[in-house]
Amino acid sequence: MLKQRLFIGSATVVGLLITAMLIAAAIWPVINDVKTGETPEYPDIQPLYYTADPRRVFDESVASVEELERWEVVKSDVATRTIEATSTTRVFKFVDDVTITVQPVTEFVTRVDVHSRSRVGKGDFGQNARNITMFYGELEERLGAVRFNPEVPDKANNTSPQDATSQTAPAKTSTTSPPTPATTVTSPTPKNEGTATPP
Q: Is residue 22 part of a domain?
A: no
For 99-124, what is the mean pLDDT?
96
Interhelix angle 127-143/54-67, nearest 10 degrees: 120
* β-sheet bridge partners, residue 98: 85, 116
**Does residue 174 register a pLDDT over 50?**
no
Q: Is residue 88 part of a domain?
A: yes
The domain that holds 125 is classified in CATH as 3.30.530.20
Determine the structural domain holding residue 93 and report its residue range. Answer: 46-151
pTM of the model: 0.69
Which regions of the chain does DSSP assign to beta strands (E)? 33-35, 48-50, 71-77, 82-88, 95-104, 110-118, 147-148
**Does residue 99 register a pLDDT over 50?**
yes
Total domains in the fold of the chain: 1
Q: Is residue 65 part of a domain?
A: yes
What integer pLDDT is reported at residue 196 of this predicted model?
44
Q: Is residue 180 part of a domain?
A: no
**Does residue 186 register a pLDDT over 80?**
no
Q: Is residue 96 part of a domain?
A: yes
